[in-house]
Chains A and B, each alone.
Chain A
Amino acid sequence: MSDRDIPRSGETAPEEALSRRRLVFGGLAAAGVVAATVGTFGRAATAVAARQPLSDKVVVTDPTLCVGCLACEVNCSTWHASVGRSGVPRIRILATPEVKLQTQLASYLPGRTGFSPSTCRQCPTPWCAPNCPTDALRVDPATGDRYISETECIDCGKCEVDCPVEWKGTLARTSLPIDSKRVIRDATNNVYVKCDLCIGRQGGPICVERCPVNVAIRAGYVKSDHLALDLRPSTQEQWEKLV
């Protein structure tokens, strides 16, 4: 198995991950509505929500603590590329001039305000998963991570169509407009990618670990009761807050 198949310290072989068929048909069978919904997988996802484990974690971002240094984007690209996956960043920072930096940071870095990092919300119902024709979009049974196996992805784009959250605005990195779902296409490698919470990486998501504001908060230099990029349980309540 190559690393693009997302190894997880031997815990979860991809074939053991919850597949589309198990998600949809298993769930529908339990709900007793197989005949009524065959051929409308997109709608069927609602019927199977109860069968799907929630993701243990989701990266929650606080724009008022973001100084736009792009460490999250760069490290996301670098780490994923280093393990043989697509180097397209799964977390993006949008330029949002209306967002004001936290007072302590703003007093030190007045020129670095107006940035909003965001990534996949690890939806309680993974809308992106059920329509994947190759079972490339998987739910890790151990952690509930929603991830894409890039070796299985056939670049059809159904996950992108079904993704309910968007990036819309101006990218801080290039100052160019972005209007995209949070499942994004890597046009070089012809695969779709999304935040996989750095599945397989010891220490968890690299963006959370390496954000310099997070480092400063952990060291006590920046006063905040939460991190700029925080890992929190992906509960329904948490998800509704994000939406």
Chain B
Amino acid sequence: MKGFEYTRPTSVQEAVQLLSAQNARALGGGTDLLGIMKDALLPTDRVVDLKGIQGLDHIKDDSGTLAIGALARLNDIAASSLVAGKAPALAQAASLVASPQIRNMGTLGGNLAQKVRCWYFRDADRTDCYKRNGSYCYAVLGASDLHAVFDGAACFAVHPSDTATALSALDATVVVAGPKGQRTVPIASFFVGPDTDYLRETVLAPDEIITEVRVLLGAPSVFLKAAPRRSIDFARTSVGAQVIGTNVIQTARIALGAVAPTPHRATKAEAFLEGKSLAPDVIAQAAELAADGAKPLASNAYKIPLIKGLVRQALTALSAR
């Protein structure tokens, strides 16, 4: 691994200041960043270890809003009875990330801000990948098993985060701190597609960090994940779903993970569900609509039936509550 400067700030302000240097990167649990550094995928001259900042690992009910600090570990979120009871999709997503060891290290902020798992990006030799400031996407005419069926634009890497999918379904808000202070970003506009900027996955500037994620407590939600292995694997497709309304659905949110460069909201299915109840035929039609508009590459068409199946299972699970 190339040499780097290690810093351990004790406040958010100090962290933001340290991150303003060129090629400075924030370290949460380090489960993503260290891999990137070992393979020299992105230049890293300074590591800003956020774990020295006190008070960013809370999980609490803040007047009807679930507030989770960016440094809260995934295992703590998965084990939290508050999260499991009030925002079950997030607890399920956190419990399905990778392995116990990684969940014990990995943080919520890091899980949201992680880089893509595209096998071409992670191949140290492919320096001309768009994500590495290159000029080519190998997935377009190459092996595209892991890649996007929605919204690919020049780059076809998908966002790999399970918690991002769950939080999109829960319509969370991300609190971000930067040199100009604090701002809140709705999760729907937190992730950035390659048509906006293929070098980053989120709206975070290099000197900004996530400090908190906030979710309104209440309505039933569910998260399901499909991956070749039951453990230590990234989703090939995942779904987070939440329905608001008792007998008749007022609002439905269906977020699909690992099928697009950002968590993909199945807006046609959501609109279709409004004003209906979760009867089997309604669920079947919504599942079909969830995959509407998918444009598979050479070897990722399998994600289309996977989307339909997962959405059907997720809505069926919600209908039983």
Which chain A residues numbered 74 to 93 have a C-beta less than 8 Å away from chain B?
74-75, 77-78
Q: Does B154 count as interface, using CB distance less than 8 angstroms?
A: yes
Nearest chain B CB to A105 CB, angstrom units: 8
A210 to B153, CA, bound (A): 13
Q: Does A70 count as interface, using CB distance less than 8 angstroms?
A: yes
Q: Does A150 count as interface, using CB distance less than 8 angstroms?
A: no
Q: Assess the B154–A71 pair: CB atoms within 8 A.
A: yes
What band does the interface of chain A fall in when counting residues whose beta carbon is under 8 Å from B?
20 to 34
How many pairs of A and B residues are in contact by the CB < 8 Å rule? 59
Given contacts A112-B297, A175-B293, A215-B136, contact A74 B141 (CB under 8 A): no
Residues of B within 8 Å of A112, CB to CB, are: 295-297
Chain A interface mostly helix, strand, loop or mixed? helix
Given contacts A212-B141, A216-B141, contact A69 B156 (CB under 8 A): yes
Nearest chain B CB to A82 CB, angstrom units: 11
B interface residues, how many (CB within 8 angstroms): 20
Which chain B residues numbered 262 to 321 have a C-beta less than 8 Å away from chain A?
293-298, 301
Which chain B residues numbered 147 to 200 have a C-beta less than 8 Å away from chain A?
152-156, 194-195, 198
Q: Assess the A108–B140 pair: CB atoms within 8 A.
A: no
Q: Assess the B137–A71 pair: CB atoms within 8 A.
A: yes
Residues of B within 8 Å of A67, CB to CB, are: 140-141
Nearest chain B CB to A20 CB, angstrom units: 35
Q: Assess the B141–A111 pair: CB atoms within 8 A.
A: no
Given contacts A71-B140, A73-B195, A212-B137, contact A109 B297 (CB under 8 A): yes
- Taking a contact as CB atoms closer than 8 A, the residue among B141, B195, B294, B295 that contacts A68 in the complex is B295
- Give the nearest-CB partner of A216 in chain B: B141
Residues of A within 8 Å of B54, CB to CB, are: none
> Per-position contact with A for B44-81: 1 when CB-CB < 8 Å, else 0?
00000000000000000000000000000000000000
Q: Assess the A74–B194 pair: CB atoms within 8 A.
A: yes
Residues of A within 8 Å of B297, CB to CB, are: 109, 111-112
A108 to B300, CA, bound (A): 12
Q: 5 nearest interchain CB pairs?
A: A74-B154, A70-B153, A111-B296, A71-B154, A212-B140
Q: Residues of A at under 8 Å CB distance from B?
A: 67-71, 73-75, 77-78, 108-109, 111-112, 173, 175, 209-210, 212-213, 215-216, 221-222
* Other A-B pairs, 9, CB within 8 Å; known A71-B137, A213-B141: A68-B295, A69-B154, A70-B154, A74-B153, A75-B135, A109-B141, A111-B297, A210-B154, A212-B140
